[in-house]
């Protein structure tokens, strides 16, 4: 097992044996929780993140945090919490690319620069990323023109929304490259992993003064900043008098790679009073099946849905949960991951299965997702995107199923303006005849919501990235880009 200081793990992204970095211990802050009530978002971020990244100087960390959570966000609160008659919604999409990935990816480039300093790194960092739509843009935005870095993003060319696609292919920055692939997200992600683990390529890069790192949620630098907003959401409920301090609440998370909900799991281990974690999937319900049976089985058809950022069959971050619930049995984790690679599945032990009681797994199909958008808009005048709608629909099932009345925060992961076609279609079938960009204006008119600046810009920005390639050609493209060939 490879043991590194946080700064080195952030730079590396993934361990030499292909495993994911985890904290030595998840820091417990239960006895300091009361102090969090009066913290604003940045103060909270500093408090939480410094508990994990102990080799980064607190003052430098605070500088990173200041640069990350500034007026790039269109809300002073950074993460507003909305209330309807049904539930609370933690809006994580007020950053520059309109999805929750911004919460960590605004900070990651700064963390990497600081880490490079600590580690006395002389090499250029090459960020290699596969995206199901939102990570790509958020990473590009974060790393564009950051000195000492290059970033290359692969997205499934038919697997993202039109707005997501435009956001990426119009990306400026002389250190950026965006490529569409003939294939789905899992194809892109598995090939990115192969490229990462290619020892010959690694040596070649090394000789030329480069090293790979990752902006995907396999990077521990992505995960830890995501813990912060769970504390923020909880404290906001306390501040508003919606709950008593110490009262438990539920979080409901629309899930794909298991990164967001794993951060909630870490928050709970740190001492945040959480009752249930509701893990919501779309039709690619591999996690629902895992939570119900204890068997993870990726051998099934990949379904393209209207919540594309959750169209994932290999949820990478589950490895970190497996590690934790196996009492840190690395041999066992290695065996499961080998089985997943070779046979497409693995089954956890009965003892481990018991640890999963904290989670409630659910899924929503396309119709249920569309109904949820319509219902929330018509009844509460609240417009949600397709991913949030999956979680919302699962929450209804959860309440029906369990009768649980615990206050619940639904984690809202993207702006409806990123998925105009599906969202407007949910409100009225007639919108199916319009294209995504036309629907931006219509959505604004119908909902009364202001068009986010990031979407407004897409109307005029020109297309910069036109490359399309096959999965087998990804490595060649990476080399071409890095070596400027
Ligand atoms: C990435 C993403 C998800 C899934 O988050 P994971 O951390 O991969 O589970 C859900 N919704 C949106 C909008 C996303 O961009």
Q: Atom 1 (ligand 1): residue with closest C-alpha?
A: 309
> Coil, strand, or helix at residue 274?
strand
Of ligand 1's listed atoms, the one at least distance from the Cα of 260 is: 7
Using the mean position of ligand 1's atoms as its centre, give its distance from the Cα of residue 352 in Å: 25
User: What phi-psi label fits residue 98: left (phi over 0), alpha (psi between -120 and 50 degrees) or beta?
Assistant: left
Q: How far apart are CA 320 and CA 222, in angstroms?
A: 13
Q: How far apart are CA 108 and CA 64, in angstroms?
A: 9
Of residues 261 and 216, the one with the higher pLDDT is 261
Is it the case that residue 17 has pLDDT exceeding 90? no
Positive or negative CA dihedral for 469, 282, 310, 27?
negative
Average pLDDT of the residues in 398-404: 98
Percent with pLDDT over 90 in the chain:
93
**Residue 68 falls within a domain, yes or no?**
no
- The pLDDT of residue 2: 87
- Regarding beta strands 249-254 and 210-213, do their DSSP bridges make them parallel or antiparallel, or are they unpaired? unpaired
Is it the case that residue 197 has pLDDT exceeding 90? no
- The pLDDT of residue 44: 98
Is it the case that residue 139 has pLDDT exceeding 80? yes
Is it the case that residue 268 has pLDDT exceeding 70? yes
Of ligand 1's listed atoms, the one at least distance from the Cα of 387 is: 11
Using the mean position of ligand 1's atoms as its centre, give its distance from the Cα of residue 129 in Å: 15
| Ligand 1 pocket member 412 (CB < 6 A) | no
**Residue 385 falls within a domain, yes or no?**
yes
Of ligand 1's listed atoms, the one at least distance from the Cα of 418 is: 13
Of ligand 1's listed atoms, the one at least distance from the Cα of 133 is: 15
Average pLDDT of the residues in 34-44: 98
Of ligand 1's listed atoms, the one at least distance from the Cα of 414 is: 13
Average pLDDT of the residues in 349-360: 97
Is it the case that residue 389 has pLDDT exceeding 70? yes
Is it the case that residue 228 has pLDDT exceeding 70? yes
Q: How confident is the model at residue 426 (pLDDT cuts 50, 70, 90)?
A: very high
Using the mean position of ligand 1's atoms as its centre, give its distance from the Cα of residue 135 in Å: 8
Report the candidate in 357, 406, 414, 425 with the shortest Cα–Cα distance to residue 389: 414
| Ligand 1 pocket member 310 (CB < 6 A) | yes
Is it the case that residue 212 has pLDDT exceeding 60? yes
Is it the case that residue 433 has pLDDT exceeding 90? yes
Average pLDDT of the residues in 19-29: 96
Average pLDDT of the residues in 279-296: 98
375: how many CB neighbours lie within 10 A of its CB? 18
**What CATH number is attached to the domain comprising 276?**
3.40.50.1100
Site to substitute for ligand 1 among 90, 104, 134, 287, most atoms within 8 A of C-beta: 134
- The pLDDT of residue 485: 53
| Ligand 1 pocket member 387 (CB < 6 A) | yes
| Ligand 1 pocket member 259 (CB < 6 A) | yes
> Coil, strand, or helix at residue 141?
helix
Site to substitute for ligand 1 among 133, 288, 315, 413, most atoms within 8 A of C-beta: 413
Is the pTM of the predicted complex or chain greater than 0.75? yes
Taking only the tens place, the pLDDT of each residue in 299-329 is 999 999 999 999 999 999 999 999 999 999 9
- The pLDDT of residue 256: 96
- The pLDDT of residue 385: 98
- The pLDDT of residue 38: 97
Q: How far apart are CA 61 and CA 111, in angstroms?
A: 8
Taking only the tens place, the pLDDT of each residue in 52-63 is 999 999 999 999
Mean of all residue pLDDT scores within the chain: 96
| Ligand 1 pocket member 13 (CB < 6 A) | no
| Ligand 1 pocket member 260 (CB < 6 A) | yes
Q: Atom 2 (ligand 1): residue with closest C-alpha?
A: 309
Average pLDDT of the residues in 80-95: 97
**Residue 47 falls within a domain, yes or no?**
no
Average pLDDT of the residues in 437-452: 96
DSSP 233-245: HHHHHHHTTSS-T
Total number of domains constituting the chain:
1
**Residue 174 falls within a domain, yes or no?**
no
**Residue 225 falls within a domain, yes or no?**
yes
Q: How confident is the model at residue 371 (pLDDT cuts 50, 70, 90)?
A: very high
Average pLDDT of the residues in 215-232: 96
17: how many CB neighbours lie within 10 A of its CB? 11
Q: Atom 8 (ligand 1): residue with closest C-alpha?
A: 257
Using the mean position of ligand 1's atoms as its centre, give its distance from the Cα of residue 261 in Å: 9
Return phi, psi of residue 279, to 5°: -100, 105
Site to substitute for ligand 1 among 136, 218, 255, most atoms within 8 A of C-beta: 255
Of ligand 1's listed atoms, the one at least distance from the Cα of 134 is: 15
Range of 373's domain? 81-97+221-458
- The pLDDT of residue 459: 87
Is it the case that residue 186 has pLDDT exceeding 90? no
Q: Which residues pair with 128 in a beta bridge?
A: 152
392: how many CB neighbours lie within 10 A of its CB? 28
Site to substitute for ligand 1 among 310, 389, 394, most atoms within 8 A of C-beta: 310
Q: How far apart are CA 181 and CA 403, in angstroms?
A: 45
Q: HSE on the CB side for 335, CA within 13 Å?
A: 8
**Residue 427 falls within a domain, yes or no?**
yes
| Ligand 1 pocket member 134 (CB < 6 A) | yes
| Ligand 1 pocket member 254 (CB < 6 A) | yes
- The pLDDT of residue 189: 87
């Amino acid at each position: 097992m490879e043991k590194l200081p946080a700064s080195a793990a952030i730079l590396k992204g993934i361990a030499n044996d292909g495993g994911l970095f985890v904290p030595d211990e998840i820091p417990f802050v239960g006895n300091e929780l009361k102090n969090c009530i009066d913290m604003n978002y940045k103060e909270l971020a500093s408090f939480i993140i410094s508990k994990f990244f102990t080799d980064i100087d607190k003052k430098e960390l605070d500088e990173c945090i200041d640069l990350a959570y500034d007026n790039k966000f269109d809300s002073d609160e950074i993460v507003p919490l909305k209330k309807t008659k049904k539930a609370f919604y933690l809006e994580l999409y007020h950053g520059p690319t309109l999805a929750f990935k911004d919460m960590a990816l605004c900070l990651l480039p700064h963390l990497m620069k600081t880490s490079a300093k600590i580690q006395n790194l002389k090499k250029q960092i090459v960020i290699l990323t596969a995206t199901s739509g939102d990570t790509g843009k958020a990473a590009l935005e974060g790393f564009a023109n950051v000195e000492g870095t290059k970033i290359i993003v692969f997205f499934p060319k038919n697997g993202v929304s039109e707005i997501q696609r435009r956001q990426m292919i119009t990306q400026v920055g002389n250190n950026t490259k965006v490529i569409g692939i003939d294939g789905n997200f899992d194809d892109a992600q598995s090939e990115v992993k192969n490229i990462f683990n290619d020892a010959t390529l690694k040596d070649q890069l090394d000789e030329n003064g480069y090293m790979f790192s990752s902006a995907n949620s396999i990077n521990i630098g992505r995960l830890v900043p995501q813990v912060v907003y769970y504390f923020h959401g909880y404290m906001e409920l306390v501040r508003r008098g919606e709950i008593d301090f110490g009262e438990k609440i539920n979080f409901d998370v629309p899930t794909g790679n298991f990164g967001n909900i794993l951060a909630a799991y870490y928050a709970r281990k740190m001492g945040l009073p959480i009752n249930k974690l509701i893990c919501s999937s779309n039709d690619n319900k591999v996690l629902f099946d895992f939570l119900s049976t204890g068997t993870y089985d990726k051998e099934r058809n990949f379904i393209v849905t209207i919540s594309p950022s959750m169209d994932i069959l290999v949820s990478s971050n589950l490895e970190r949960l497996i590690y934790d619930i196996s009492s840190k049995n690395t041999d066992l984790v290695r065996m499961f991951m080998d089985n997943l690679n070779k046979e497409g599945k693995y089954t956890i032990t009965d003892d481990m299965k018991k640890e999963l009681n904290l989670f409630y797994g659910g899924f929503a199909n396309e119709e249920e997702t569309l109904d949820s958008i319509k219902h929330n808009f018509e009844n509460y005048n609240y417009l949600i995107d397709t991913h949030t709608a999956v979680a919302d629909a699962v929450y209804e099932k959860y309440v029906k199923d369990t009768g649980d009345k615990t206050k619940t925060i639904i984690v809202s992961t993207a702006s409806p303006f990123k998925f105009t076609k599906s969202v407007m279609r949910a409100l009225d079938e007639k919108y199916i005849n319009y294209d995504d960009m036309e629907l931006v204006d219509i959505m604004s008119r119908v909902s009364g919501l202001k068009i986010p600046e990031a979407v407004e810009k897409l109307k005029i920005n020109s297309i910069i990235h036109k490359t399309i390639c096959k999965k087998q050609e990804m490595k060649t493209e990476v080399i071409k880009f890095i070596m400027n060939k």
